[in-house]
Each structure stands twice: as C-alpha cells, then as structure tokens.
Structure 1
Amino acid sequence: MPAPELSPPQSSLPAAAARFGADALADAAARARDIEAATGGRPVVPSPSAPLTVGSGALDTHAADTPADEVGTPSAAPERSAALERILRGPSGLGTASLHLARRGEPSGPETLESPKPLESLESPKPSAAPGPPAAPVPLAAPVALSTPVAPTDPAASAAPAAPAEGIPIPGLYYHPVPEPDPVRVAEVSRRIKAWALDEVDLYPEDWEDQFDGFSVGRYMVACHPDAPTVDHLMLATRLMVAENAVDDCYCEDHGGSPIGLGGRLLLAHTALDPLHTTEEYAPRWAESLHSDAPRRAYRSAMEHFVHMASPSQADRFRHDMARLHMGYLAEAAWAETDHVPEVWEYLAMRQFNNFRPCPTITDAVGGYELPADLHAQPAMQRVIALAGNATTIVNDLYSYTKELAAPGRHLNLPVVLAERESVSVREAYLKAVEVHNDLMHTFEAEAASLAAACPVPSVQRFLRGVAAWVDGNHYWHQTNTYRYSLPDFW
C-alpha cells in the first residue's frame, strides 16, 4: 500500500495579517476617538509611507506621496475613517511605537537604564501610559541598508595570489557594503560593555583583555543595528552577544571548552535565560549557581537587562532560539567525541541550529518596537530568519577558516566538510562554500521580498529591513576584524 501523500502546506499569513490589521484598526479607532474628545478635532494625517520594495537584492524603502485613495482606501466610504488614516500614515500603531530611524551621529547621552529587576519578577506586566495625542510620525524615507550589492568576482581572474589585507572581502562572496558605524555610538557601546564585563559579571581574567578588545563588539553591534533608537537599546544586543560568546569559548571552544559533559553545563546555563521554577527548599541553591562561573553570570545579567526593556513574547522568542543554539552545540560536540565528519547536508542542518539566529531574531527589541508574535511565528517569516542565520554563519565559517586551521584539533566548518565528503582540494572546497553562501543569500533576499509583498504591515516591513541590516553588518564585522581573521591564499 503506497504511503499517503502529505497535504500541501497552507499558509496562515493572510489570516494573521488580517487579524493584525483588525486589531490595529480597532486600536487606531479608539485612539482617534480619545484624541478627538480631548482636542475637539481629528488628528492631522501626513502622506502615507510607501511600501517596502526590493531592488538589486537589497531591501529598501522610498518616500511616496500617493493619494490615500490610490493605496487601498475603500471607494464606497464617503470619507476616510480616522482608523484607516492612522494605519496609512505609517510608523505608528500596534507594534510600531518606535518606528523611526536613529539619527546617526547624534550623541547618545547618559545611560538611563534602571537597575535590572529580580529574576523572579522579570516579566511582570508593564503599566500602560495614559492615552494622549501621538507624536508626529517620522516617515521611513531612508533605507536601513544604504548599499548596493557587490557582484561576485571570479577568483580565477586574479593573475597572482593576493595577500590578506585589512578590510579585504572574500573574492566571489555576495554581500552588501554598509556605511561605517557611527563612531560616537561605537565608542560609547564599547565603553559600557567593557565596564559591564569587568564590574558587573567579572567575565574574564586580565590576560584575556586583548582578546576582548580585539573582538570589537561595539563596532559589530552598531553596524548590525543601525535603527536602534538609543545606546541602551544597542546594549541589549551587545550584552547578549558577549554572553553567548563566553558560553561558546568557555564551554565549547578554546578557553577550556570540551565536548565532554557539555550537555550538563549548557542545561544549567540555560536556566539563567529560562528561570527554574522549583520548591522553596531548592530555589536558593539554583539562584547561587547563576553566579558560579563567568558564562552563567553573563547570561543572567544580560537576560535581566533584556527582559527589562523587551516584551514577554520577545523574551520567550529569544529563549527558544537560544535552546536551538544549545542543541546545535551538542550535535557538534557529539561528532567531536566520535571523530565523525558529517555529510554536507548534515553539517548544514547542524549549522541551522548552531548559528547566529538569536541575534537577528531580536532586531525589533533592539529597534524599540515589536513584531507581533503571530506574525513572527509565520512559516514564511521563520524561513527568512533561518536563511539569514544560515548565510551569516557560513560567513563565519569562511572568515574564520585560517584561524580554526591554526587551532589544535580538527574544527568542523563548511570547507573542511566539503573537502572530506566530496573529495576535493581544500581550495575547491573553500570556493564551493562561497557558492553555498551566495545561494543562501539570494534565497534569503528573494524570500524576504516575497514576504514583504505578501504582508505589507509596517512592523513586518521594518523587521525584514532589520534582519537584512543585521546580515550586512555581520559581514562588515567579519571583513574588517583583521585582529581575529585573515583570508586563505586561494586567489
């Protein structure tokens, strides 16, 4: 008897977008009534922002002055409702409270983040502010990613091998250049993160200071989050990035890491992100354990700061993606224990979990707004996020290739697995890994453009631009971080 065929997948995106639109319309109508009652007049509505478009592979936006009647206002209505006007005017309403671009070069001012709340009360409901007239919205006229794609070059076209040089991108790699990160923000984020690492979580001994500075995490996070409204928001991503790297280095990699016993260490560290709910007798011992080593101290503190500014759904989303990351760590550790080189597809499956996904998935929290949970959970959105994580992780494989070759033992990366499993030279394997990255990038951009067209909701559009900006910023950091990375001599 033949196996029954699976039913074709049915997208729930239109229904989710419709629910979002209905909720936003109801919210807008209620606010409009409040404003009219308070001021005696209806809110002034500027020209609507244009929908997100895609050109030359880069997500972009452009201002438009299209009359409202031409962008979907029902012609049967004698006059536009205040609710619809609120939706059409762009960056306001549900999920888009902070929908504006950060002013590049603007001094960030003193840190205003309050002390983190105790772990047991991290997600208590936040009080709502009293309704009042909304601030004038800022149209999304400028793109988040101010770049055009760089066409891949033919590695074979070089007459002589090129020596690695500072800031040289991998020949043939498809990527988008980004503007230099705001130096004021870079300096402030760098200052704050070092103070946090030293004074708040005691993250590393003195002889690791050069490595911490060489990581250049301030430049990394400012490049990846160009729309963060404040330095406080940038610090959310920066602390989490440093904490994740502390876990990777100290549990898995070159600062005492080992595959032996990794599962137990990761499980206990994960409770710093996802709190243990246990009896009064045993809770104090668990709370003490969160201070027992640098990775757990970093996870605990970074998560407390994050939950202080993020919503409960954003925090839970992040926990889920961190569980994915830890599962990927465990798969790689299991292969190391048995000296197993996976098939290429198996390696790519592992890298879909052991990858950068937790970083772009919080792009809305760092941007000061929220992509609603039902829209974030859509299969189309999850595919875009997964492709972004996969492409950026192969960038890491490529730029860290020589660094890993110089380290003790065998480090799995895509070129190593390709050379072993497809019986090709190391050069051929590396160049094929570049092709794999490029295919992932093109698919990511096509899927993001398709989703943007299918769901023209402001928070979806901004989230997609934020993920694209993270992809571009991640490449920029790898390309320019010559303290850590150098290119192989394959061209």
Structure 2
Amino acid sequence: MPPPEPTPPQSSLPEAVSRFGAQVLADAAARARDIGAVTGGAPRVTPPAAEAPAVEVPTAPVPAIETPTAPAPTVEAPTADVPAASPDLERLLRGPSGLGTAGLRLTPRAEPSPSDPAPAPSTAKGRPVPGLYHHPAPDPDPVRVAEVSRRIKAWALDEVDLYPDDWEEEFDGFSVGSYMVGCHPDAPTVDHVMIATRLMMAENALDDCYCEDHGGSPVGLGSRLLLAHTTLDPLYTTQEYQPQWAESLYADAPRRAYRSAMEYFVQASSDSQADRYRHDMARLHMGYLAEAAWSEHDHVPEVWEYLAMRQFNNFRPCPTITDTVGGYELPADLHALPDMQKVIALAGNATTIVNDLYSYTKELDAPGRHLNLPVVIAEREDLSDKEAYLKSVEVHNELMHAFETEAAALAAACPLPNVQRFLRGVAAWVDGNHQWHQNNTYRYSLPDFW
C-alpha cells in the first residue's frame, strides 16, 4: 500500500481572524469608516461563529514623540471620521488617513511592454525605466518635504555629526525629505515621518561608510556590523565592561546615527514593533556580509544566489515599520503570519531591484565591480549588457505582480482594518520608493538602451 500523501499546508489566516473574536470584529466593522473611504466600500468582514468568545486585543501605548530640534511649523493632516472609542482599540483598528491615501490600492494595473518607448516626463524630473511595471505615486506634500528636510539636516549636523562638510552636497542630493514623505503618505505628523527619515539616513550612512564609497571595505565588515548592531539590540554585560561598550556607541558616524535614530524609534513604537525592526536589520546585515564575501573573492554568484542575497540585503526594514510611522500597530501575531511575511519580502525584493535598475550607470562609473542584477545576469547567462538589463526589468515585473497578487489575497482572507491599512502602507512605500528613484536625477540616470 503506498504511503499516505502529506496533508497540504493550510493557511493560518482563518485561525488568526477567529482569535480576535466576535466583539473585536464587530468593533472593526463599526469603526473603520476611513477604510471604506479609501477602498470605495465597507471592509469585508467574515462573521465569526456565534460561539467564538470575545477576546481583548492586547496593545502597547505609544508614547509621545519628542524631538530636540526647535519647534516647527504645524503641519496638519486630514483626520479620519471615526466614532469615539477606547484609544488603544482605535489606534489598532482605525483605517488610513492623511495625505495621499486616496491613491493607495492593491489591485494591479495594466503592465507596459518592455518595448514601449520611455514616456516623456510631465511634472516629474526623471523618466521611468521603459517597460517597468509601477504605479505613479502622488507628489509628496511640499510643506512636509521642506520641514522634514530641515529637521533631518539639523539632526545630522547637530545631534550625530553624521558627515564632514565636503559631503553636504551628497547629503542634500539624496533628497531624503521627498523620499520619506512620498513613502509614508498616511503619517499623521511630521514627527512620525521623522521616525523613518532618521532610520533611513542612519542605514545609508552605514552602507556608505562600512560597505561602499566612503571608506567601506569587505575586510573586517563582520566585526563592524556586529558592533553597530548593538546600537539597535543593546549589549547586556558586566559592570566592568558596560562603560566601554557604551562609549563605543559614539565611535563613528554610523553608530552615532544608529543609536540616535533607534532611540527616537523606540519612543514611538511598541516593544513588539521595536523587536520586529531589530530582526529585519539583522537580516539586512547578514545580506551585507554575503555580498562582502563575494567581493573579497571576486566571485560573481549565480542569478538565483544573487536574488537570495537581495532578499536580505534590501529595503525590507523600511516598509516593515509602516504602522509605527502611521501611528498605529499591526499586532505581532498578524505581522508574523507567513502570508504577511511573504508580502513584505516580495515588496522588499521588488523595490531593491528598482534600486539595481536606476543605480546601474552610477555603479558602473564607480571604482571596482559592483554587483547588481543586470551585471550578474550578463555574466552568468552570457547576455549583452542591454539584454541583461531588459531581463532584469522582467524579473522586477514578476516580483511586483507576485507582491500585488499575494497582498490582494491576504487582504481578502484577513479583512481586519489594521491589516488592510498595513498592506496599503506597504504598497504606498513601494510606489513612493519608485517615484524617488525615478525623480532623483542628481543620483541616477538611465542607460542608453532604447
């Protein structure tokens, strides 16, 4: 008799929804008017079984965010029309609000053909990669952009001494204010946008100083990353050695920036959100180490190996904090669902290939060999530079379609408003990331392949 076939894997989504009980789902349906405003209809809530007990959703209070910079002009964002409710439950269950949320969607659009000519730029400064599947994002609010840009430069100069004077042009050219405002359109205040902005600049400084152009090297990278990671995940050691570790947190610009940005982040996040971020930063650092090992041995990985590295060395820490920046929380058991983790991973993978495509010519002009997807495909599959670049566009498009398909399926299977909002926040990050790469002509230019 043949052995019985294994039971097909079952989605954990129905169990996750039922754990929240009849009362929580009823409250979600009653209080999520702003979700309906964004999606064009009421959220789809599957009625739970009558015998399901009411379960209280555990929440952690989010402390007020304090910034040491001078008081800034008030920047108001539209507020959602939500009936009065307990503050903690409302924080978890309210839907998206704020600038640009009407443009967020999970439904795919028609895909351009790679053979289509590049569209002429309209109000944007740059042009998109021809054939790249993407969604135009709303222009970031210029008032917020200006204020975030002012605050982040003050933080970089006055609080963490992030860069020397001759790096100022590069810092300004990064346009991080436009980047983060565009990626987080539902952030309720400028303070919330600044949470993501500090972390982004700290991550970028570490990449430049430890790995890339400004003194970076694969030699000894592991020890530098480990010590930098202790600014996010603190060391608990003996009284004799604790002061030496504490002093090391100020030893270089990346560690000063990591330490400061993380302190601001934990003021606004729950313990679960902070631990989630530490986990994703460990993933990022592991990806750095894989790429460094290949660089030390002048090794070009197989394409699938490169894509595996890019699932770790990618933008994942940025969209995974979209709820903290939005001023709410996706509970840990929902964030940890395999289906949710797949959506976040696909978003990180797609947005990182966007970076490979837009930074292609910049990296070719830099000293040494920089691995990116077109370079790896060209060498491993014996294709011309143009053929490899166009195939990379196809890889990106497949990842984007997979992201949207998985996100839409998860939204339908788990219709809790905070899940819906989180998925839209990730989608907004994907769109804003592309918009920033397309329009940042100071850093990026497209190859002449069309």
TM-score when normalising by structure 2: 0.85
> Please, which of 330, 350, 353 is the counterpart of residue 391 of structure 1?
350
Q: Render the CA deviation track for 1:265-318: whole Å, top value 9, x for unaligned.
A: 000000000000001110000000000000000000000000011000000000
Q: Render the CA deviation track for 1:197-235: whole Å, top value 9, x for unaligned.
A: 000000000000000000000000000000000111100
- Residues 352 and 389, structure 1, Cα contact 8 Å, conserved in 2: yes
Q: Which residue of 2 aligns with 1:280?
A: 239
Q: Which residue of 1 aligns with 2:306?
A: 347
Supply the distance in 1 between the matched residues of 2:126 and 2:208 (Cα, whole angstroms).
25
Q: Which residue of 2 aligns with 1:218?
A: 177
Q: Which residue of 1 aligns with 2:15?
A: 15
The verdict on how the C-alpha distance between 1:134 and 1:219 changes in structure 2, with shifts beyond 3 A counting, is: same
The verdict on how the C-alpha distance between 1:266 and 1:3 changes in structure 2, with shifts beyond 3 A counting, is: farther
CA shift for structure 1 position 167: 1.3
CA shift for structure 1 position 154: 3.8
Q: Does 1:202 align with 2:161?
A: yes
Supply the distance in 2 between the matched residues of 1:481 and 1:333 (Cα, whole angstroms).
27
Q: Which has the larger radius of gyration?
A: 1
Q: Which residue of 2 aligns with 1:124?
A: none
Q: Does 1:228 align with 2:206?
A: no
Q: Does 1:181 align with 2:140?
A: yes
Q: Which residue of 1 aligns with 2:204?
A: 245
Counterpart of 1:353 in 2: which secondary structure?
Answer: coil
Q: Which residue of 1 aligns with 2:79?
A: none
- Residues 384 and 447, structure 1, Cα contact 8 Å, conserved in 2: yes
Supply the distance in 1 between the matched residues of 2:426 and 2:190 (Cα, whole angstroms).
19
Q: Which residue of 2 aligns with 1:24?
A: 24
> Please, which of 337, 346, 365 is the counterpart of residue 324 of structure 2?
365
Q: Which residue of 1 aligns with 2:287?
A: 328
- Residues 361 and 467, structure 1, Cα contact 8 Å, conserved in 2: yes
Q: Which residue of 2 aligns with 1:413?
A: 372
Q: Does 1:145 align with 2:103?
A: yes
- Residues 52 and 456, structure 1, Cα contact 8 Å, conserved in 2: no
> Please, which of 448, 454, 460 is the counterpart of residue 413 of structure 2?
454
Supply the distance in 2 between the matched residues of 1:314 and 1:370 (Cα, whole angstroms).
8
CA shift for structure 1 position 48: 5.8
Letter in 2 for 1:190: S
Q: Which residue of 2 aligns with 1:34?
A: none
Counterpart of 2:311 in 1: which secondary structure?
Answer: helix
TM-score when normalising by structure 1: 0.78
The verdict on how the C-alpha distance between 1:475 and 1:280 changes in structure 2, with shifts beyond 3 A counting, is: same
CA shift for structure 1 position 16: 1.7
Supply the distance in 2 between the matched residues of 1:23 and 1:299 (Cα, whole angstroms).
41
CA shift for structure 1 position 389: 0.1
The verdict on how the C-alpha distance between 1:156 and 1:139 changes in structure 2, with shifts beyond 3 A counting, is: closer
Q: Percent same amino acid among aligned pairs?
A: 73
CA shift for structure 1 position 237: 0.2
- Residues 31 and 94, structure 2, Cα contact 8 Å, conserved in 1: no
The verdict on how the C-alpha distance between 1:9 and 1:215 changes in structure 2, with shifts beyond 3 A counting, is: same
Supply the distance in 2 between the matched residues of 1:311 and 1:369 (Cα, whole angstroms).
10
CA shift for structure 1 position 133: 12
Letter in 1 for 2:103: A
Q: Does 1:427 align with 2:386?
A: yes
Supply the distance in 2 between the matched residues of 1:184 and 1:402 (Cα, whole angstroms).
32
- Residues 96 and 421, structure 2, Cα contact 8 Å, conserved in 1: no
Supply the distance in 2 between the matched residues of 1:337 and 1:3 (Cα, whole angstroms).
48
> Please, which of 210, 217, 220 is the counterpart of residue 261 of structure 1?
220
Supply the distance in 1 between the matched residues of 2:207 and 2:414 (Cα, whole angstroms).
36
CA shift for structure 1 position 487: 0.2
Q: Render the CA deviation track for 1:373-416: whole Å, top value 9, x for unaligned.
A: 00000000000000000000000000000000000000000000
Q: Render the CA deviation track for 1:357-380: whole Å, top value 9, x for unaligned.
A: 000000000000000000000000
CA shift for structure 1 position 345: 0.3
Counting only pairs closer than 5 Å after superposition, residues 71-150 of structure 1 correspond to structure 2 as: 109=73, 143-146=101-104
| Alignment RMSD | 3.7
- Structure 1: runs of 5+ lacking an equivalent: 30-44, 54-59, 78-82, 88-92, 99-106, 112-129
Supply the distance in 2 between the matched residues of 1:245 and 1:132 (Cα, whole angstroms).
35
Q: Does 1:62 align with 2:20?
A: no
Letter in 1 for 2:17: A
Counterpart of 1:299 in 2: which secondary structure?
Answer: helix
* Count of matched residue positions in the alignment of Structure 1 and Structure 2: 425
Supply the distance in 2 between the matched residues of 1:486 and 1:374 (Cα, whole angstroms).
42
Letter in 2 for 1:12: S
- Structure 2: runs of 5+ lacking an equivalent: 63-70, 76-84
The verdict on how the C-alpha distance between 1:150 and 1:173 changes in structure 2, with shifts beyond 3 A counting, is: farther
- Residues 62 and 140, structure 1, Cα contact 8 Å, conserved in 2: no
Supply the distance in 2 between the matched residues of 1:63 and 1:329 (Cα, whole angstroms).
43
CA shift for structure 1 position 12: 2.1
CA shift for structure 1 position 180: 0.7
Supply the distance in 2 between the matched residues of 1:23 and 1:109 (Cα, whole angstroms).
41
Supply the distance in 2 between the matched residues of 1:215 and 1:458 (Cα, whole angstroms).
34
- Residues 149 and 177, structure 1, Cα contact 8 Å, conserved in 2: no
- Residues 108 and 404, structure 2, Cα contact 8 Å, conserved in 1: no
Q: Which residue of 2 aligns with 1:472?
A: 431
- Residues 168 and 480, structure 1, Cα contact 8 Å, conserved in 2: yes
- Residues 357 and 386, structure 1, Cα contact 8 Å, conserved in 2: yes
- Residues 144 and 227, structure 1, Cα contact 8 Å, conserved in 2: no
Letter in 2 for 1:342: P
CA shift for structure 1 position 150: 6.4
Letter in 1 for 2:256: R
Supply the distance in 2 between the matched residues of 1:366 and 1:471 (Cα, whole angstroms).
15
The verdict on how the C-alpha distance between 1:144 and 1:306 changes in structure 2, with shifts beyond 3 A counting, is: farther
Q: Answer with 393-402 or 142-151: which moved more.
A: 142-151
Supply the distance in 1 between the matched residues of 2:48 and 2:8 (Cα, whole angstroms).
34
Letter in 2 for 1:227: D
Counterpart of 1:315 in 2: which secondary structure?
Answer: helix
Q: Render the CA deviation track for 1:182-204: whole Å, top value 9, x for unaligned.
A: 00100000000000000000000
The verdict on how the C-alpha distance between 1:426 and 1:133 changes in structure 2, with shifts beyond 3 A counting, is: closer
